[in-house]
A and B are shown apart, each in its own frame.
Chain A
Amino acid sequence: MSEHRIDITVNGRRHTATVEARASLGEFLREGLGYTGTHLACEHGVCGACTVRVDGVAVRSCLMLAVQADGCEITTVEGLAAPDGTLHRVQQALQDNFGLQCGFCTPGVAITLAAVLDDDPAATAQDMEAAMSGHVCRCTGYQGIRRAIRQLAGEAV
């Protein structure tokens, strides 16, 4: 099995590492670099818990190899809040609206909503909900997440 030297930036911090070809980006972020906020919940690309941003774009980190992220800038859930600890508005909206319970799917949800809003600050609730088709939450029944989305879209919660 081939091994590869990669150079990636995670939440603004640069890392170089040697990775096995088969290591997924999600596994590497967690085990190689200690960004355990990214959760692997299915490893077949359905549940969305492992979603991270790669060069700004939200992708499944279980469906991308670490070696493919060579030279990329990654944002994980640990990189959403401001350095002073102020929550990202997506995180704040999820907390305000009881948008999480066990919190296992939450990192992916937060990353997706942040990506949609960064791409289009005027994104509507419908735009955000459309992106949520790629996330499974077993706890909340999606009520709080949907209210958080409305809050983010400036609608009545």
Chain B
Amino acid sequence: MKPAPFDYVRPASIAEACAILSEAGGGATVIAGGQTLMPLLNLRMSQPFILVDINGIAELKGVSRAGGATRIGPATRQAEALRDATLARQLPALVTALGHVGHYQTRNRGTVGGSIALGEPAAEMPATAVALGAEIEIASVRGRRSVKAEEFYLGPYMTVLEPDELVTGITYPDWPEGHVVLFREVAQRPGDFALVGMVGALALEGGSIARAGIAWFGMGPVPVRARQAEAALLGTGLGDIDADAVAALAVADTAPFDDHHASAEYRRTVGKRIFARTLREALDIRSVA
């Protein structure tokens, strides 16, 4: 199928992009990498009047450090982020998750911000942002605001972004050096969206968990933060963690669905197992180290 007709504009600045979005009155859609949007356009499931290409906006690209946080420009290509030394050092969980986003060819064009802004509930990037406590910077002609990733998602492909708004940055707070990375994804083929997956980070202090951020993907209409599990882990000594019990708490926060690839019950059953296993393996490795 071919897309429905649209106008194409390629603004050179955030201000210009915001002005276009504002004038379009809801009829514009932003394209960054296009790796999820283009299929929707080709299938005519998305029919904007104006396509706003942000690939020409230099200020939306690149990785930077500021005030105890790492900022990723939303138009940064996934492949570039995967190779980025700052991200490798500061956000190993994000880099691990990025390796599971799409395929070699789609990561060459897909962007970190595009994946985050679209809000596919079974995708890795939104859940990673939620788990790591990222803030999403948003701009429009009305001004700028910042939203916690956890509050950014409303439902499948639905976010708090207003039609005139543009994501301008994703800021991930620092995690202490040597923090533990949690990541596991169950997908039928490499590059598929997950049947169930989890991502997160744990910071240890004096043999117990000092900070925890964990989120599910594929386990509900939005990326789901495992709040009860995080609470149970906080302050607990490594030797006292009952991985199965924590995993049960983690699953209790989810609302998975049935589709023809897997049932909700499968997602809960396997989710609990991979959560417990991932926790066990990550902490065992940690204690051995």
Direct contact of A and B (CB under 8 A): yes
- Interface assignment of A156: CB less than 8 Å from any CB of chain B: no
Given the complex of chains A and B, what is the CA–CA distance between A2 and B52 in angstroms?
Answer: 12
- Interface assignment of A125: CB less than 8 Å from any CB of chain B: no
Given contacts A134-B103, A134-B104, contact A22 B38 (CB under 8 A): no
B8 engages A63 (CB within 8 Å): no
**Residue from the list B5, B38, B104 in contact with A64, Cβ < 8 A:** B38
Question: How many Å from the CB of A127 to the closest CB on chain B?
Answer: 9
CB<8 Å pairs between A and B, sample of 20: A1-B6, A1-B7, A2-B8, A22-B5, A22-B6, A43-B39, A51-B105, A57-B108, A57-B109, A58-B108, A63-B34, A63-B39, A64-B34, A64-B38, A68-B53, A112-B104, A112-B105, A131-B104, A131-B105, A133-B189
- Interface assignment of A15: CB less than 8 Å from any CB of chain B: no
Name A residues whose Cβ lies closer than 8 Å to a Cβ of B: 1-2, 4, 20-22, 24, 27, 43-45, 48, 51, 57-60, 62-65, 67-68, 112, 116, 130-131, 133-134
Given contacts A44-B39, A45-B39, contact A116 B104 (CB under 8 A): yes
Q: From A66, which residue of chain B is reached at the shortest CB distance?
A: B8
**Residue from the list B6, B106, B189, B191 in contact with A21, Cβ < 8 A:** B6
Q: From B8, which residue of chain A is reached at the shortest CB distance?
A: A21
Describe B's contact surface by its main secondary structure.
loop
Name B residues whose Cβ lies closer than 8 Å to a Cβ of A: 1-10, 34-35, 38-39, 41-43, 51, 53, 55, 79, 102-106, 108-109, 189-191
Describe A's contact surface by its main secondary structure.
mixed
Given the complex of chains A and B, what is the CA–CA distance between A39 and B39 in angstroms?
Answer: 16
B109 engages A4 (CB within 8 Å): no
Given the complex of chains A and B, what is the CA–CA distance between A112 and B108 in angstroms?
Answer: 11
Given contacts A1-B5, A2-B8, A4-B8, contact A48 B38 (CB under 8 A): no
B8 engages A44 (CB within 8 Å): no
Given the complex of chains A and B, what is the CA–CA distance between A59 and B7 in angstroms?
Answer: 23
Given the complex of chains A and B, what is the CA–CA distance between A27 and B55 in angstroms?
Answer: 21
